[in-house]
Structure 1
Amino acid sequence: MATAKPTPTDSLSFCLAQLTAAAGEGLRGGKDTATNETPLGRALLALRTRHVKAAGGIERFRARGGLRPLLALLRRAAAAGPAPSQTGPGSAPSSVESAASFGPAPSPGPAPCAAAAAPSPPARLRKTLDLALSILANCCTEGACRAEVRRLGGILPLVTILQCVKTDSIQNRTARALGNLAMEPESCGDIHSAGAVPLLVESLTACQDSQCRQSVVRALRNLADSPQHRLALAQQGAVRPLAELLAAAPDPALTLALVRALLELSRGCSRACAEQLSLGGGLGPLVGLASHPKRAVREATILILANLCAQGLVRPALGNAGGVEVLLGELRRRRGPSGASPASQQPLVRAVCLLCREAINRARLRDAGGLELLMGLLRDPRASTWHPRVVAALVGFLYDTGALGRLQALGLVPLLAGQLCGEAGDEEEEGREAASWDFPEERTPERAEAGSFRSLRSWLISEGYAAGPGDISPDWSPERCPPPPPPPEPAHPASPSLAPTSLRTPRALRTPGRSPATTAAEEPWGREGPALLLLSRFSQAPDPSGALVTGPALCGLLAYVTGAPGPPSPRALRILARLTCNPACLEAFVRSYGAALLRAWLVLGVAPDDWPVVRTRPARRSQHQQQHQHRELGEMLLQNLTVQAESPFGVGALTHLLLSGSPEDRVACALTLPFICRKPSLWRRLLLDQGGLRLLLSALTRPAPHPLFLFFAADSLSCLQGLVSPTMSPALLPAIPLDLDPPSPCLYEPLLGPAPIPAPDLHFLLDSGLRLPAQRATSATASPFFRALLAGSFAEAEMDLVPLRGLSPSAAWPILHHLHGCRGCGAALGPVPPPGQPLLGSEAEEALEAAGRFLLPGLEEELEEAVGRIHLGPQGGPESVGEVFRLGRPRLAAHCARWTLGPGQCPRKRALALVGLVEAAGEEAGPLTEALLAVVMGVELEGKGPSLDC
């Protein structure tokens, strides 16, 4: 088989020589391009089909200097016409001017281009341009060649060819070369500066070839590499032709190119982009393409729709075209079990939230299940970054009664309460164009304002909170906004004033240079503003108890009021006041332990997170002042509840709860009554006559119905004790005497010396072998036990060494002192361990048991007083109360109850002591309830406590 004969075009050097000669460098213009048309055409064809497409061919072509003559050849072709006008903000690259040294420069004058003289260039010239542009476009697929083309000034000739030669094939290859060059940011800027965008737009509308259109569309897409360039493209009319082509149902390849270009152009969607896309009729086709079988088309289309939602002017039309249902469906799919990552959901979440700004779209969103989807986002901890945006979107449903009812049924209120003190999301602020289009803005000149304030102002106007822009001064801080007019408070004849002076709505913030007449009262509007606005709307319902008077909702409101870094919003205070003044909420406050929570958190300063261990908080300068304000607020709210409780309706409601409610409701009612009832006839009848106190005491040892139940119970019992004995002062009811009496003279000590006086006539022998001296006659008179033992008919009456079994030396020491008449000499303190050590199994318990066994009641009382002095005195703490109670002695139980419920006791220590008492009592609740009942009722408990049936 014969081998093919090599041709000259197989050599890269030959092809480059032909190209150089055609460019005029080697011949100095001696030969015209037309005379070398045929060899040049063969060389260009070989370069395109063999040399450039070979592996590493583009790099070799660039290294051998092929780009310089290639660009010179294109420059010759463009020399017939003037350079395009500079429409961009910059100027043509300087490298274009320097390129004149290696080729004839185009005439600077406004000579007509070749395209103006003839409909199309000659066939040979057109073929040469096609090949040369094809080679250049292929070379520009590599970064090094793109940089070299820009350095050699190759952009301006391409733009000139695009302007002058209107043949589809040349337009196609020129647009392809420009599109490849636009992949470099520097080249992209030069292309914009050279005025290529209007020419590409013109080519897009004029050409009919699908390949040419795809190249132009791709070039426009690559030129949209920055917000500034995207805005320039939109302002120069690049978006509308794309939308019109898309509406014409093009072939699949062009469709993909169009949606990819529109996706780039719609990033950070500008007003011009949205207007052109809408005017071009692209909304309907885009919604239709959202269900395209090809995934790339489908996903790009959905992102375009999401980007368009940033412009309020197009959102109503987008909703009419079915965009709401499309975006909701896609977000629901991505949030499904096999959905995409949270990052891919972000633009859809933003779009759905923006759609809530127009009433027509809110209706569509509600009917399409959007409320459930938004609630799912609020419940998802992985979507916490979007929670502030979602809450702000739900504010749009503020006056949609049906939607609010649905949101409440879905559990919005506790989620809103949790948002009050949550972490702020890192969401970008929306511009003024994203504001609601229900009330289009007036485009009047005004000074620059913060984007978030402009958006908020437009929304407030659209929702009716302000009549117009003049009602909201631009001098206001962007961080504040005027609230909607507060609804009238529920009228009640006995309602107290809303708040003390320190908790009233702040006075108007005056701006220098403005008169007070033009300054409206302002309230803080931070990230918690939307949540508070919705909660305020819920609180205005006739009966908001089911949603707002619950543990989570109250905890969220109180956490915000007490934990806000600055002054809390007056709206939150109004919500709490409105709830406590509403008679319909009274039973809910009782059932949910809301009144006890208000007192503990605001008046006593103990939050759920502070129990049982105190939570560490950063110190604040005005902490004391804040605590005083919180206490005032708590007392005011409890006074509101007292007004409701002592009204005829409240008396009937509380009586019904206590007598006919569930067991849990009856206990909650009994616990709450001391906080909200001040009339003696009322609380005596409910707590004493109708068994409310018995219910509360019996519930102490049962499973706690609330995490703070024992804290609430200790505080409630203490308040009830104050109601029963209002004149009793802490000094009249000490838990344990704080100062020890002076010790009495010791009568046993003389027997212990080397020369005892009088001499002992008896010794007691302990199990350890220790012998303790004693006087028989004195010991026999101490108790009936020793009288029978030492002076009766037992053998010990004749013994000089009498054994005492089961006694350690420390336990026997107070007994010997007591037998010889010592009272208060301090011997009883000896066997008592220090605070922090257990009493069960100690020598103190052994001494108490021996005193009972030896029938020494006086010693028992002295030992119990010693235990109380040490463990329930100044050195003792709440943890010692349970230890003392475990000894199982009625007098000590009474000491423990008095220590726990003492009027001057710290609320936290009181509650911790009650916890210890409940743990020590275990299932045997009788002694504990008897001791607590005696203290509450002011009855001294001696050997036996009062009955609960009293």
Structure 2
Amino acid sequence: TSSTRGEDTQDPGIQHRKRKGPLAPAALGSAKMAAAKPTPTDSLSFCLAQLTAAAGEGLGGGKDTATNETPLGRALLALRTRHVKAAGGIERFRARGGLRPLLALLRRAAAAGPALSQAGSGSTPSSVESAASSGPAPSPGPAPSAASSSPTPSPPARLRKTLDLALSILANCCTEGACRAEVRRLGGILPLVTILQCVKTDSIQNRTARALGNLAMEPESCGDIHSAGAVPLLVESLTACQDSQCLQSVVRALRNLADSPQHRLALAQQGAVRPLAELLATASDPALTLALVRALLELSRGCSRACAEQLSLGGGLGPLVSLASDSKRAVREATILTLANLCAQGLVRPALGNAGGVEVLLGELRRRRSLNGTSQASQQPLVRAVCLLCREAINRARLRDAGGLELLMGLLRDPRASAWHPRVVAALVGFLYDTGALGRLQALGLVPLLAGQLCGEPGDEEEEGREAASWDFPEERTPERAEAGSFRSLRSWLISEGYASPPGDPASSSLSPTSPRTPRTPRLPSGRSPTTATEEPWGREGPALLLLSRFSQAPNPSGVLVTGPALCGLLAYVTGSPGPPSPRALRILARLTCNPACLEAFVCSYGAALLRAWLVFGVAPDDWPTLRARPARRGEMLLQNLTVQAESPFGVGALTHLLLSGSPEDRVACALTLPFICRKPSLWRRLLLDQGGLRLLLSALTRPAPHPLFLFFAADSLSCLQGLVSPSGVSPALLPAVPLDLDPPSPCLYEPLLGPAPTPAPDLHFLLDSGLRLPAHRAASATASPFFRALLAGSFAEAQMDLVPLRGLSPSAAWPVLHHLHGCRGCGAALGPVPPPGQPLLGSEAEEALEAAGRFLLPGLEEELEEAVGRIHLGPQGGPESVGEVFRLGRPRLAAHCARWTLGPGQCPRKRALALVGLVEAAGEEAGPLTEALLAVVMGVELGGKGPSLDS
């Protein structure tokens, strides 16, 4: 909110008096000759010599009888109108040592101050009074002598004129930085302050203030001017002076003296703001008005209490609001930023709102946000001001009626304004008990935005003191803490208004912490004892949690809070906050799960499943399907709250209606949620089995997922249902994984045929495509299966052959076949063609062996091969990625193995869900085998046996 401290200004010089009518020819010729004739004052050396001499002799010097002027006066006039004004003239004047005698002359003038002040009571020569106090100087012309148009000036008047010229030269020189440093080194500030104190003539005050204003552009000089006591004298000039140009110089000097927070505070404490505000109310000169608003803008930066009080007492609020629509852009912008600065002080905000400041600031912020290319920096002071205006009830009403809620919501939705989001949320806390405003904010979509704020990155906080707190209860001031950031300041305001409890409050120290099942809520601010039990953490998420808590206290908050975005925001905060989360977040969740009106929303939004996944298993949507774990936090208690609601008469009716008459999506969500929140066998059996809930859930597995965690939820739901059907006394999450089969291998009956002297000797060999000959017994092979009995003992030619070809069979796939034909059961030969975990089963020798077992009508071998596949890929070494590979073999018994592995009681929830994902991908559009396998496992029956089916 800073403005430039102002440009350096030069004295415009003494102008010619305009003659009436044309010059006579003779006079014109004389003027031309005079102009062409060189004079001693054309020499800078001559002028400096006169200045040096006068500095030693005194202010008057001898009078030139021919021109009725002193040589010093002519030298000063030439220095001001010609030498200093010329290009590079100031630098030459300083380099030639002109500043030292000039300052010595001013010291003599300061010593003669009372006489000059008496002389100043008379009229001021128009040539001096017409000098401007700001702006660039016009090109000077030769000035006629004072004697040509006025009587001989008296010595005091001549001294005053000399001082006028010397001050004008000094002020012009101080437009250059090197001269400002030289003047300060030579001690030129104190004489100026003395002249300001002693000589109360408008022209002298004007030039002195202009010189001080130029000097104040150097920080070191600015401090010296403050130390010299110039501020009270400048303030006095504001009230005593009537000349507009003098007032502008004084106002500019005060503005330049406000170069730091300390100096701005000193100016306010010395009464510099009130006369500026009073002048603003009566000023008619546009230039003076601009100077005043620029000065008030500078003085109001980091607005102090003294500044705000004086500006209000001086009647400046109304004029500032009126000037916000001024035709000049510079006036408008300075005025609006001043109003924004004033909002930092709570004591002035109600009066500012009554004067129309709320509408002005809202309108300007709305205008700037609508312009393309407007920087965020230009909006920042207005955003801060509007947020601070939300701390008083009267201004909140004005802001609400002027469309401020929509504007604040627009800021919250704007990702470019993310640095201001915490401040905006803190401002909305002011509407905590404004039912109409809360309804409007809810309709505008505040709740999901608040939930998103809980785990956002912290923005840069601008420090605010306690003066920024609400002025609705000014008598309840809280002690200022060592650290007073914006959110800590807001917390102090909440304590003062009864929204929160102060630390160590005796009225609350004896209370016990609030139970999540019976949450307490803040009462209306009353100035009495606070309502919360103990002091809670109040971080940057405090305002958002307070608003969410207020929304959760509505009779039916399900429409805004029991939604995916809102629940995800709360759960992400509870599990992801760097420190201990605020208990208010868990109380919000407890209040929602205890509200019967929210039950249906928890079911339809997968809220109950989300609570179980996030708070019990530590699986968030963003974590899936990775394996990053989050801490578990009281999820069982929240689910128990939902169970109480679900098993009540109201809950039974709501769930039954939802399952039978809801939309297809809601029916699936209901079927999935029931195992989590229903523990009564009569209830879940009726809803899931008799009324088709389980059928709905299983049939939805291969459809597009309605939730990012749908398959995780489904796997967990089916596992819970299996636990309900076949209850065990041990928690499913604690049971270890058990391999499918760890029996020791049986003796091999085929191996004796492979030695050098087999007993009995083989009477048959099978010839493979690779040329390998495998020995066999015809009788044993013929009795092993109908296929080989027909092939080896029937009417086929192979019955007479000693070398029987077996087409389409590799040695690895043939190996378990030959073992099985000779009576081997469990000798380990079936493990040979099975690849290790991580390698595909489709196209492997294991699939070839299974196909051969089916082709050769060897069901026992099929079962043994399937058991081998399950032992290797679904055993301790196998993982969830193997489940889909096994299921792709398309064998019912292996599908049952996959379902058992997935829903097994000892399985990790993450692996279970990943396995179900693999099963769904492997099943593709053929969902029948998968649903049959899952149904059989859930209901505890063998696949193909009697039991419930999807059609029952």
CA distance in structure 2 between the partners assigned to 1:724 and 1:88 by the alignment? 109
Give CA-to-partner distance per residue, 1:834-874, whole Å, 9 cap, x none: 00000001110011011101111111000000000000000
Give the Cα–Cα distance (whole angstroms) in 2 for the partners of residues 10 and 759 of structure 1. 141
Note the C-alpha offset of 1:524.
Answer: 1.8
Deviation, structure 1 residue 100: 32
Inter-CA distance 2–358: structure 2 relative to 1 (3 Å threshold): closer
Contact 2:886/2:898 (<8 A) preserved: yes
**Structure 1 residues 323 and 739, CA, compared in 2 at 3 Å: closer, same or farther?**
same
How far does residue 459 in structure 1 lie from its aligned partner after superposition? 2.2
Residue number in structure 1 paired with 2:73 = 41
**Is the contact made by 1:81 and 1:107 (CA closer than 8 Å) also made in structure 2?**
no
Q: Structure 1 residues 552, 255: CA separation in 2 closer, same or farther (over 3 Å shift)?
A: same
- Give the 3 Å change call, closer, same or farther, for CA 563–95 of structure 1 in structure 2: farther
How many Å separate the matches in 2 of 1:212 and 1:875? 94
Offset of residue 442 of structure 1: 6.3
Cα displacement (A) at 1:444: 10
Please say if 1:757 is aligned against 2:791.
no
- Compare 237-246 and 871-880 and name the one that shifted more: 237-246
> 3-state DSSP class of the match of 2:507?
coil
Aligned equivalents of 1:26 and 1:105: distance in 2? Answer: 29
Query: Partners in 2 of 1:446 and 1:300 — Cα distance?
Result: 31
Pairwise CA distance, 1:876: 0.1
Q: Per the alignment, in what secondary structure is the counterpart of residue 116 of structure 2?
A: coil
Structure 2 counterpart SS, 1:524: coil
Deviations 1:143-195 (A, max 9, x none): 11000000111111111111111221111111110000000011001111111
Please say if residues 84 and 163 of structure 1, whose CA atoms lie closer than 8 Å, have aligned partners that are also in contact: no
Contact 2:278–2:315 (CA<8 Å) still a contact in 1? Answer: yes
CA contact (8 A) 2:61 2:71 kept: no
Residues 487-537 of structure 1 deviation map (CA, whole Å, 9 limit, x = unaligned): xxx999999999999989999999999999x99732222222211111111
Cα distance, 1:456–1:764 mapped onto 2, change above 3 Å: same
Mean CA deviation greater in 890-899 or 404-413: 404-413
Task: Answer whether contact 1:96 1:153 (CA < 8 A) is retained.
Answer: no
1:395 to 404, 429, 432: 429
Query: Which of these residues, 321, 338, 343, is aligned with residue 287 of structure 1?
Result: 321
Paired with 1:660 and 1:830, the residues of 2 have a C-alpha distance of 54
Q: 1:85 to 1:599 in 2, by over 3 A?
A: farther
Structure 1 segments unaligned to the other structure (5+ residues): 468-489, 622-633
Q: Is the 8 A contact 2:552 2:561 kept in 1?
A: yes
Cα offset, 1:92, TM superposition: 31
Counterpart-to-counterpart distance in 2, 1:93 and 1:715 = 99
Given the superposition, is the C-alpha separation of residues 82 and 813 from structure 1 closer, same or farther in structure 2, using an over 3 Å criterion? farther
Deviation of 1:609 after TM superposition, in Å, equals: 2.4
Q: Are 2:509 and 2:534, in contact at CA under 8 Å, matched by a contact in 1?
A: no
Per-residue CA deviations over 1:342-389 (Å, capped at 9, x if unaligned) read 111111111001100111100010011111111111112222221111
Distance across 1 between alignment mates of 2:627 and 2:247: 71
- The alpha-carbon deviation at position 692 of structure 1 amounts to 0.2
Asked if the contact 2:511–2:533 (Cα under 8 Å) also holds between the matched residues in 1, the reply is no
For 2:866 and 2:949, the matched residues in 1 are separated by: 23
Distance in 1, matches of 2:749 and 2:733, equals 33
Contact 1:735 1:898 in 2 (8 A): no
8 Å CA contact 1:82–1:111 kept in 2: the answer is no
Cα displacement (A) at 1:420:
1.6
Greater mean alpha carbon deviation, residues 1-10 or residues 715-724:
1-10
Structure 1 residues 729 and 508, CA, compared in 2 at 3 Å: closer, same or farther? closer
Shift of 1:291: 1.5
2:246 is paired with a residue whose SS is helix
Whether the 8 Å CA contact 1:114–1:121 is kept in 2: the answer is no
Partner residue, 1:641: 642
Structure 2 CA distance for partners of 1:94 and 1:667, relative to 1, 3 Å: farther
Q: Does the CA-based 8 Å contact 1:714-1:901 persist in structure 2?
A: yes
Kept in 1, the 8 Å contact 2:81–2:141? The answer is no
Q: What is the Cα deviation at residue 261 of structure 1?
A: 0.6
Query: Conserved in 1, the CA contact under 8 Å of 2:575 and 2:633?
Result: no
Quick one: structure 1 residues 531 and 58, their matched pair in 2 at CA, closer, same or farther if it must change by over 3 Å? same
- How far is 1:114 from its partner? 22
Cα deviation, residue 936, structure 1: 0.4
Q: Between 279-288 and 330-339, report the one with greater CA deviation.
A: 330-339
Question: What is the TM-score when the length of structure 1 is the normalising length?
Answer: 0.87
State the distance in 1 between where 2:338 and 2:693 align.
66
Superposed CA RMSD in Å reads 7.5
Q: Compute the displacement of 1:95 (Å).
A: 34
CA displacement at 1:4 relative to structure 2? 2.0
Map of 1:478 onto structure 2: none
What whole-Å deviation, never above 9, does each CA across 1:31-88 have from its counterpart, x for those lacking one?
9999995211111111111111111111111011000000111111111249999999
For residues 101-121 of structure 1, the C-alpha deviation after alignment (integer angstroms, 9 at most, x for no partner) is 999999999999999999998
Contact 1:377 / 1:387 at 8 angstroms: preserved in 2?
yes
Moved more, 863-872 or 194-203: 194-203
* TM-score when normalising by structure 2: 0.87
Question: Identity over aligned residues, as a percent?
Answer: 94
Which 5+ residue runs of structure 2 have no aligned equivalent? 1-32
Supply the distance in 2 between the matched residues of 1:135 and 1:732 (Cα, whole angstroms). Answer: 93
**More off after superposition, 759-768 vs 854-863:** 759-768
Shift of 1:122: 2.9
Between stretches 313-322 and 695-704, larger displacement belongs to 313-322
Report the alpha carbon displacement of residue 757 of structure 1 after superposing the two structures with TM. 2.2
The answer (yes or no) to whether the contact 1:506–1:523 under 8 Å persists in 2 is no
Taking structure 1 as reference, are residues 694 and 104 closer, same or farther at Cα in structure 2, changes over 3 Å only?
closer
**Deviation string, structure 1 residues 431-460 (Cα, Å, up to 9, x no partner):** 121121111236899997857698446623
Judging changes above 3 Å, is the alpha-carbon distance between structure 1 residues 100 and 206 closer, same or farther for their aligned structure 2 residues? closer
Which of 797-806 and 119-128 deviates more? 119-128
CA shift in 2, pair 1:944/1:746, >3 Å: farther
Q: How does 1:686-725 map to 2 (within 5 A)?
A: 686-725=687-726
Give deviations 1:307-346, integer Å, cap 9, x for gaps. 0001111111111111111111111112125152111111
- C-alpha contact (below 8 Å) 1:99/1:152 kept by paired residues: no
Q: Deviations over 1:671-721 (max 9, x none)?
A: 000011011000000000000000000000000001000000000000000
Distance in 1 separating the partners of 2:791 and 2:684: 56
Q: How much does 1:565 deviate?
A: 2.9
| Segment drifting more, 765-774 vs 330-339 | 330-339
Q: Give aligned pairs, total.
A: 915
Change (3 A) 1:263 1:383: same
Shifted more, 731-740 versus 897-906: the winner is 731-740
CA distance in 1, matches of 2:85, 2:748: 118
Q: Please list the CA deviations of residues 190-230 of structure 1 after superposition, one character each: whole Å capped at 9, or x if unmatched.
A: 11111111111111222222211111111010000011111
Q: Following superposition of structure 1 onto structure 2, how do residues 489-888 of structure 1 map, counting pairs within 5 Å?
A: 521-615=534-628, 634-727=635-728, 737-888=739-890
Q: 1:493 to 1:411 in 2, by over 3 A?
A: farther
SS at match of 1:2: helix
Distance in 1 between residues matched to 2:508 and 2:557, nearest whole Å: 18
Greater shift, 64-73 or 279-288, is seen at: 279-288
1:235 aligns to what? 269
